[in-house]
Structure 1
Amino acid sequence: MRRSLRRALWAGVVAVVAVAAVPVASAFGAGSVTAQFTATSDWGTGHEVRVTVANGSDATVSTWRIEFDLPAGTSISSFWDADVTRTGDHYVATKKSWAGSLPPGGSFNWGYIGTGAFRTPLNCTINGASCGGGTVPTTAPPTTANPTTAPPTTAPPTTAPPTTAPPPGGKKVVGYFAQWGVYARNYHVKNIHTSGSAAKLTHILYAFGNVTNGQCAIGDSYADYDKFYDAASSVNGVADTWDAGALRGSFGQLRRLKAMYPNLKVIWSFGGWTWSGGFTQAAQNPTAFANSCYNLVEDSRWADVFDGIDIDWEYPNACGLSCDTSGPNAFKNLMSALRTRFGSSALVTAAITADGSTGGKIDATDYAGAAGSLNWLMPMTYDYFGAFSPQGPTAPHSPLTSYTGIPQQGFNSDAAIQKLKSKGVPASKLLLGIGFYGRGWSGVTQSAPGGTATGPAPGTYEQGIEDYKVIKNRCPATGTVGGTAYAYCGGQWWSYDTPSTIGGKMAYANNQGLGGAFFWELSGDTTNGELIGAVKSGLG
């Protein structure tokens, strides 16, 4: 049921040089309450800073306000877990409403991404006193909150995450919830909440509904709406019931999650790698297909759960797990029928190919013609290379850009984005794809990309693939190439995105005017939402 797979064997060798950023700290002395600025990353043209507010007094500090100046040539481009306002080079950071009070000896972290190389902030005060200490009041003047803050790229604060999502901003953060994750992966809707991910998401894509006999159909009725959740495993601590008509399963849990996060939207995704073959028959009668989908998504048992429909057709008028010859207009016609049936207020989205090669899969379908019917399109900018070519060459599965020796030209995120834009797809309707997993080979003898292999590396659920939360510790990144990370350990070669490379990709998304980012999928992240934090904070 994996999201997408591209099977190709290419050749190429490349040597790379990895550069590690050295953290830099700037502390403002010791006192009753202190603020310490630590540059956790510094890449010359930008830097990431963690700010630690520590309560060294013997009284509880209910709120705090930090004022400081940044030297010329540096500025804050995005921030998280504090409300930050700016006047010229002067910044004011205040505690968010959901963050708890600081007990004696307690501390709290917030952070920001800065432009230029890290330079020590100037004239720092906290609650009106020097950041180095002194007499510190336990309350601060009221401030106006900034609703466009972004969450952490590392660990969450010691206080609980907010129970309501922040107001929706301009950038979309869209994450897939895999239906089958409730089994071996033991990942449930509750985990979206406890990881802090729900507060960072704007949309959840529920994957997948089936496409069969030219119609939308239930994918797994037990996981979808029948599985019983007791109080301990339920997202809101209330057990399911066996009452007639009661909605259980992931649908029931998503209903409760939306009540906790009123701004969060949920979209039901149909198709995927395994079930895309059904679209060929669906394309023969788009109106009948759209009617079947509407009747299923808007079923009275769960109509309030879903805010629209997503189509993951891999790949129209081209070959994926099976081949389709519906013609270049089939996808456009299907999207038009769905928009007509669902109406203008529903979300209609699509996950599409990211093959930017000349004469590749983007060229096989009129995606620009379909864009008018869609809220946004999600080119799957991952799975370009992997151990589905078991002998290699080793190459990153999700390169942002091309690089010398890349096995196939056009197999990178930028190539896909530029091709789609050149065909007339608005940049604001494109989301950049991120994989929350790595792909790897075994029997590799060189650390640089382009090496040969003897087969796929072992994985928890599938050979050649592993969740980020596992691989980050099992085989830590040793270098970067094409805007993404790779790792070499014990004869294995892996590629995956890290918070740092995601930061670079989000900067790219912002520079290109993209509508945001999406990722496959939630269970691959750490328990504290390390990667989604990087996505959210990078988009700003």
Structure 2
Amino acid sequence: MSTSTPRTRTRLRSRATAGLTALLLPLAAMVGLATPAQAATAATATYAKVQDWGTGFEGKWTVKNTGTTSISSWTVEWDFPAGTSVTSAWDADVTSSGTHWTARNKSWNGTLAPGASVSFGFNGAGSGSPSGCRVNGGSCDGGTVPGDNPPSAPGTPSASNVTDTSVTLGWTAATDDKGIKNYDVLRDGTRVATVTGLTYTNTGLTAGTDYSYTVRARDTADQTGPVSGARAVRTTGGDPGPGPGPGSKIKLGYFTNWGVYGRNYHVKNLVTSGTAAKITHINYAFGNVQNGQCTIGDSYADYDKAYTADQSVDGVADTWDQPLRGNFNQLRKLKQRYPHIKILWSFGGWTWSGGFPQAVQNPTAFANSCYNLVEDPRWADVFDGIDLDWEYPNACGLTCDSSGPAAFRNMMQAMRAKFGPNNLVTAAITADASTGGKIDKTDYAGAAQYSDWYNVMTYDFFGAFDADGPTAPHSPLTSYAGIPQQGFTSAEAIAKLKAQGVPAGKLLLGIGFYGRGWTGVTQSAPGGSATGPAPGTYEQGIEDYKVLKNTCPANGTVAGTAYAHCGSQWWSYDTPATIGGKMGWAKNQNLGGAFFWEFSGDTANGELVSAINNGLG
């Protein structure tokens, strides 16, 4: 068993592998699919085709509560033409009767507060589009009352009397053919008040925090109109400061471009979770490596996806004709607010490492192509360098490479020569310290002189890719009695790299914001047998920390990391407590800091990032 296998499931996973490399069309904007209802309904449902790879596609429905009271459950129904079907689904229970399809909420996502929304997705076969959509028995577009038009949008709100904890908003009135009843005030897309006048004071806010406000009108039939323009507000006080000072430890997280789809994780989440003030660097993953060159990974997510005001870091919506949109523009806005953050564009990853062997045959040409892409004038100000994620040089990963032990060093030397001393040049590298393992196959020490640091992937050592077990922590810090493989620990990987001559300050300890698990396990302690991978939201055998902390809480520790036995499932993952221990160990080893894969696995308040920040100081 090698550490290559588990990396495929962490670094570039998708519900449909083919969909990752398919062209993601800007036309994947949400489109309502219904005819007007006979009366106003309390919910809407909109459909988006997220990906299309020819023989199939990924679709997503979003249900929104447009009423004034909570919804306790929801059902979406639609028709597909013959030859089009749902093959798998997540976050809803989907059934069919002939060509008619019905999706019902899960037990945990049926309740929607007024203004709240929830999404579910599916993989489909065929090429048809849904029609005849109904949500909770009513029209999916919310319907209109016959003879009564919905109100217009109010004016963009103004902001005054801004304090540490409050702001007063004011707006001009909307119009309606039958009269305005009241106005909903939305903060970051969620309704916080309904008022009859044209002003509202929002209290209980957090100092030094950005908010985005919009307003929508309700007419006498309780129909809602479009939202107003957005007003960005930053409360006073609570300044996070300029960020970490010189000599501080590196605190780096990976942000995945595909996370904006099914995971619904966006750059703004780094702000709302409090994470942005606690990190120093972001690796944006992934760019591709093709035909000896660095290439775009996902053009739609990278620089074309349009963000609404409530989704945007600064509360300003993208326009159709602006030169840069998508994640790149959101990252630019993030850096404007948090200038201490440095951003690297990461190329490769498990699925896209296959292009490195060809690229390193001419490392100078490869470096030139990467520089030209990273420094493209459209987004040159966004990136501070490049990260190379080759899995694995002169060893076997998704495929086997025989480029030789010097290929990686030659690549890093060419990158440094092209990017120069003022840009960052880093790499994610193996943590396989077994005798004759992947660390032994490559001249990592020789390449270190050209690298600012290495992200040592000290996770995915063990998992349900060995379906029958034995159960073992996927990110052990140290060895322990009964560990299935010598050399598969963080401590051994760091020790071997240091012994080969890599400076400790150029090594970052890796943390996974997810767990790996088995099912069919009866033994609580590590080393038990299993029958296969435990179920996961996106893939069997893997689940985010934010889910596991509630569904299968940790009840033991081994080798510096946590594990949990609940029912027939056995999971291992890091918690704030074990991360604290690992950060203390990293400091004692004089490491350069820590990195993690990846942001969206954390809780909404960023408790794992907080543990890294607090542990490293």
Shared fold, TM over 0.5: yes
Equivalent of 2:413, from 329, 333, 336? 336
Q: Which amino acid aligns with 1:448?
A: A
Call closer, same or farther: CA 1:349–1:160 in 2, change over 3 Å.
farther
Q: Within the alignment, does 1:301 sit opposite 2:405 as a pair?
A: no
Structure 2 distance, partners of 1:161, 1:496, is 33
Aligned to 2:94: none
Q: Deviations over 1:385-412 (max 9, x none)?
A: 0011111110000000000000001000
CA contact (8 A) 1:198 1:261 kept: yes
What are structure 1's unaligned runs of at least 5 residues?
9-98, 103-157
CA contact (8 A) 2:4 2:398 kept: no
Q: Tell me the secondary structure at the aligned position of residue 329 of structure 2.
A: helix
Q: Within the alignment, does 1:223 sit opposite 2:295 as a pair?
A: no
Structure 2 distance, partners of 1:159, 1:268, is 33
What are structure 2's unaligned runs of at least 5 residues?
9-162, 167-234
Aligned to 1:284: 361
Q: Which amino acid aligns with 2:287?
A: G
Aligned to 1:235: 313
Equivalent of 2:349, from 256, 266, 272? 272
Aligned to 2:484: 407
Q: Within the alignment, does 1:531 sit opposite 2:608 as a pair?
A: yes
Structure 2 counterparts to residues 34-73 of structure 1, below 5 A: none
CA contact (8 A) 2:367 2:415 kept: yes
Q: How far does residue 461 in structure 1 lie from its aligned partner after superposition? A: 0.5
Q: How far does residue 161 in structure 1 lie from its aligned partner after superposition? A: 6.4
Structure 2 distance, partners of 1:193, 1:508, is 29
Q: Tell me the secondary structure at the aligned position of residue 232 of structure 1.
A: helix
Q: Tell me the secondary structure at the aligned position of residue 190 of structure 1.
A: helix
Q: Deviations over 1:473-504 (max 9, x none)?
A: 10000100000000000100000000000000
Call closer, same or farther: CA 1:434–1:4 in 2, change over 3 Å.
farther
Call closer, same or farther: CA 1:100–1:167 in 2, change over 3 Å.
farther
Structure 2 distance, partners of 1:288, 1:101, is 54
Equivalent of 2:282, from 194, 204, 212? 204
Call closer, same or farther: CA 1:521–1:7 in 2, change over 3 Å.
closer
CA contact (8 A) 1:399 1:412 kept: yes
Q: Tell me the secondary structure at the aligned position of residue 438 of structure 1.
A: strand
Q: Deviations over 1:70-121 (max 9, x none)?
A: xxxxxxxxxxxxxxxxxxxxxxxxxxxxx9589xxxxxxxxxxxxxxxxxxx
Structure 2 distance, partners of 1:366, 1:237, is 47
Structure 1 distance, partners of 2:321, 2:240, is 28
Q: Tell me the secondary structure at the aligned position of residue 287 of structure 2.
A: strand
CA contact (8 A) 2:4 2:396 kept: no
Structure 2 counterparts to residues 141-180 of structure 1, below 5 A: 162=239, 165-169=242-246, 170-180=248-258
CA contact (8 A) 1:396 1:485 kept: yes
Q: How far does residue 381 in structure 1 lie from its aligned partner after superposition? A: 0.1
Q: Tell me the secondary structure at the aligned position of residue 440 of structure 1.
A: strand
Call closer, same or farther: CA 1:537–1:440 in 2, change over 3 Å.
same
Equivalent of 2:594, from 495, 500, 517? 517
Q: Which amino acid aligns with 2:308?
A: D
Q: How far does residue 5 in structure 1 lie from its aligned partner after superposition? A: 3.8
Question: Who wins on radius of gyration, i.e. which is larger?
Answer: 2
Structure 2 distance, partners of 1:537, 1:486, is 22
Structure 1 distance, partners of 2:331, 2:239, is 17
Q: Tell me the secondary structure at the aligned position of residue 344 of structure 2.
A: strand
Call closer, same or farther: CA 1:160–1:178 in 2, change over 3 Å.
farther
Aligned to 2:209: none
Structure 2 distance, partners of 1:295, 1:197, is 30
- Structure scoring higher RCO (CA < 8 A, sep ≥ 6) equals 1
Q: How far does residue 168 in structure 1 lie from its aligned partner after superposition? A: 3.0
Q: How far does residue 6 in structure 1 lie from its aligned partner after superposition? A: 3.7
CA contact (8 A) 1:162 1:199 kept: no
Q: Tell me the secondary structure at the aligned position of residue 411 of structure 2.
A: helix
Structure 1 distance, partners of 2:6, 2:286, is 19
Q: Which amino acid aligns with 2:297?
A: G
CA contact (8 A) 1:401 1:414 kept: yes
Structure 1 distance, partners of 2:608, 2:236, is 19
CA contact (8 A) 1:516 1:539 kept: yes
CA contact (8 A) 1:4 1:272 kept: no
Q: Within the alignment, does 1:419 sit opposite 2:491 as a pair?
A: no
Q: How far does residue 243 in structure 1 lie from its aligned partner after superposition? A: 1.7
CA contact (8 A) 1:161 1:196 kept: no
CA contact (8 A) 1:165 1:198 kept: no
Q: Within the alignment, does 1:486 sit opposite 2:533 as a pair?
A: no
Structure 2 counterparts to residues 8-157 of structure 1, below 5 A: none
Q: Which amino acid aligns with 2:616?
A: L
Aligned to 1:91: none
Structure 2 distance, partners of 1:4, 1:254, is 31
Structure 2 distance, partners of 1:407, 1:163, is 44
Call closer, same or farther: CA 1:499–1:160 in 2, change over 3 Å.
farther
Q: Tell me the secondary structure at the aligned position of residue 612 of structure 2.
A: helix
Q: Tell me the secondary structure at the aligned position of residue 236 of structure 1.
A: coil
Q: Tell me the secondary structure at the aligned position of residue 311 of structure 2.
A: coil
Aligned to 1:428: 505
TM-score normalised to structure 1 length: 0.71
Q: How far does residue 4 in structure 1 lie from its aligned partner after superposition? A: 6.6
Aligned to 1:378: 455
Q: How far does residue 241 in structure 1 lie from its aligned partner after superposition? A: 1.4
